Amino acid sequence: MPEPYRVVSMLIEAIQGDITGLEVDAVVNAANSALAGGGGVDGAIHAAAGRYELHAACAAIGHCDSGDAVATSGFRLPARWIIHTVGPVWHGGNHGEEGTLASCYRRSIEVATELGARSVAFPAISTGVYGYPPDAAARVAVNTLRSLAGTAVVDTALLVAFDARTLSIYRELLGEG
């Protein structure tokens, strides 16, 4: 049972590494709408968590709309939960992509709050095969998470960069670069 809603100051930190090995309460998966597993971070999370178990859990949920989020067990991950969110495909920036991406971060924090998760690790949602420009995506991530500080039970939000360039972007936006 999650803790009652409380106001906290959320630490937002950028790190570089493999999201599947982090000891956090929840990791966010950049999923597809069928929750079927795929490439990039989605494929890595499915492989590390246990493809069959995670596939069965996702199949039971069935679908997740773009901008929404749902949760499963973390199975073999160090994280207790996996929060699956479906980011927007980049179509030039004039088709609601920013609002949908912001909704991914907001809904992931809401789901984490419902679960009672205190620490959440996020990948760079939509920046892989979905083509969202990394600079713009990082700005949405940082601004959205900052706007949520004090509204959730989440104490720590980790922005996990797969590469040095993305880490640099996050750190600059967080005032660390």
- List of E strands, 54-174: 69-73, 81-85, 119-122, 156-161
Q: Which residues contact 174 (CB under 8 A, 6 or more apart)?
A: 12, 13, 14, 142
Closest CA to 140 of 91, 88, 71: 88
Q: Which residues belong to the active site?
A: 42
**Residue appearing with tokens 């040095």:** 164
Long-range own/partner contacts, residues 140-144 (CB < 8 A, 24 or more apart): 140/98, 140/101, 140/102, 140/105, 141/101, 141/105, 141/170, 142/12, 142/170, 142/173, 142/174, 143/102, 144/101, 144/102, 144/105, 144/106
